[in-house]
Amino acid sequence: MDVMKDFEISVYGLGVMGSSLAKNLISKGFRTALFGKSQEERERFHAQGEFTVFSSEEEMIKSLKRPRVIFMMVTAGSVVDCVIDGFVPFLDEGDILIDGGNSHFKDTQRRCHTLLEKGIQFLGVGVSGGEKGALMGPSMMVGGSEKAWKSCGHILEKMAAKMGEEYCCSYLGKEGAGHYVKMVHNGIEYALIQLIADIYSVMKKGLCLSRQEITEIFTRWKGTELNSYLIDITAGVLAKNDIDGKPLVEKILDVAQQKGTGSWTLEEAIARGVYVPTICEAVFARYFSVDQQLRKDGSQVLKATTKPMILENYEEKLKDALYLGMIVSYAQGVALIKKASEDCGWEIDLPLAVSLWREGCIIRSELLKDITKALKESDKNILLSQSFGNLGRREEALREISAKTIEAGVAAPTFLSVISYYDSCRTEKMNVNIVQALRDCFGAHTYERTDVKGSFHTLWMEGEK
Ligand code: 6PG
Residue 3 lies in a domain: no
Catalytic residue among 175, 189, 281, 359: 189
CB 363 within 8 A of CB 189: yes
Instruction: List CB contacts of 271: < 8 A, sequence separation 6 or more.
Output: none
CB 398 within 8 A of CB 412: no
| Integer Cα distance of 67 and 98 in angstroms | 13
Burial label for 409, CB within 10 Å (0-12, 13-18, 19+), is middle
User: Where a domain ends, among 146, 175, 204?
Assistant: 175
The CATH number given to whatever domain includes residue 363 is 1.10.1040.10
- 442 and 371 within one domain: no
- 208 and 170 within one domain: no
- 299 and 228 within one domain: yes
Confidence (pLDDT) at 10? 96
- 107 and 81 within one domain: yes
CB 182 within 8 A of CB 128: yes
**C-alpha dist (Å) from residue 252 to 134, 198, 247:** 27, 16, 10
What spacing in Å lies between the alpha carbon of 142 and ligand 1's midpoint? 17
Q: How many domains does the chain have?
A: 3
Pocket test for ligand 1, best of 20, 261, 361 (most atoms within 8 A of CB): 261
Whose C-alpha lies nearest to ligand 1, atom 2?
128
Q: How far apart are the first and last CA of the chain?
A: 89
Confidence (pLDDT) at 288? 98
| Integer Cα distance of 48 and 45 in angstroms | 5
Residue 245 lies in a domain: yes
Pocket test for ligand 1, best of 264, 287, 362, 363 (most atoms within 8 A of CB): 362
Stretch (H or E) spanning 134: helix 130-136
- Dump pLDDT digits (tens) for 177-220: 999 999 999 999 999 999 999 999 999 999 999 999 999 999 99
| Domain membership of residue 463 as a residue range | 431-465
What spacing in Å lies between the alpha carbon of 70 and ligand 1's midpoint? 23
Residue 110 lies in a domain: yes
Burial label for 70, CB within 10 Å (0-12, 13-18, 19+), is buried
Residue 353 lies in a domain: yes
User: Going by DSSP bridges, is the β-strand pair 139-144/9-12 parallel, antiparallel, or unpaired?
Assistant: unpaired
Whose C-alpha lies nearest to ligand 1, atom 17?
258
63: amino acid identity, one letter = S
Catalytic residue among 23, 174, 182, 338: 182
Residue 4 lies in a domain: no
- 166 and 231 within one domain: no
CB 183 within 8 A of CB 269: no
Query: Which residues have C-beta atoms less than 6 Å from ligand 1?
Result: 102, 128-130, 186, 189, 257-259, 261-262, 361-362
Query: Tens-digit pLDDT profile for the chain (465 aa)?
Result: 445 679 999 999 999 999 999 999 999 999 999 998 888 888 877 777 778 899 999 999 999 999 999 999 999 999 999 999 999 999 999 999 999 999 999 999 999 999 999 999 999 999 999 999 999 999 999 999 999 999 999 999 999 999 999 999 999 999 999 999 999 999 999 999 999 999 999 999 999 999 999 999 999 999 999 999 999 999 999 999 999 999 999 999 999 999 999 999 999 999 999 999 999 999 999 999 999 999 999 999 999 999 999 999 999 999 999 999 999 999 999 999 999 999 999 999 999 999 999 999 999 999 999 999 999 999 899 999 988 888 888 999 999 999 999 999 999 999 999 999 999 999 999 999 999 999 999 999 999 999 999 999 999 999 988
**C-alpha dist (Å) from residue 290 to 195, 280, 320:** 19, 16, 31
Residue 2 lies in a domain: no
* Beta strand ranges found along 159-238 (DSSP E): 162-163, 166-167, 169-173
The CATH number given to whatever domain includes residue 462 is 1.20.5.320
- 203 and 69 within one domain: no
- 258 and 171 within one domain: no
| Integer Cα distance of 447 and 445 in angstroms | 7
Confidence (pLDDT) at 38? 84
- 360 and 289 within one domain: yes
- Please state, as a whole number, how many other Cβ atoms lie within 10 Å of the Cβ of residue 20: 23
- 123 and 195 within one domain: no
Ligand 1 atom with the shortest distance to the CA of 186: 9
Confidence (pLDDT) at 3? 52
Confidence (pLDDT) at 51? 81
User: Where a domain ends, among 175, 205, 235?
Assistant: 175
- 357 and 210 within one domain: yes
- CA 9, distance to chain mean position in Å, is 27
Angle formed at CA 111 by CA 109 and CA 115, multiple of 5 degrees: 130
Residue 312 a catalytic site member: no
Nearest Cα neighbor of 326 from 200, 420, 191 is 191
CB 88 within 8 A of CB 118: yes
pTM (whole model) above 0.85: yes
- 169 and 36 within one domain: yes
Residue 189 a catalytic site member: yes
Long-range contacts of 37-46 (CB under 8 A, 24+ apart): 37/13, 41/14, 42/14, 44/14, 44/19, 45/14, 45/19
Ligand 1 atom with the shortest distance to the CA of 361: 7
Residue 449 lies in a domain: yes
CB 14 within 8 A of CB 34: yes
Confidence (pLDDT) at 2? 43
What spacing in Å lies between the alpha carbon of 179 and ligand 1's midpoint? 13
Confidence (pLDDT) at 1? 41
- 167 and 26 within one domain: yes
Nearest Cα neighbor of 102 from 308, 260, 219 is 260
Residue 1 lies in a domain: no
The CATH number given to whatever domain includes residue 21 is 3.40.50.720
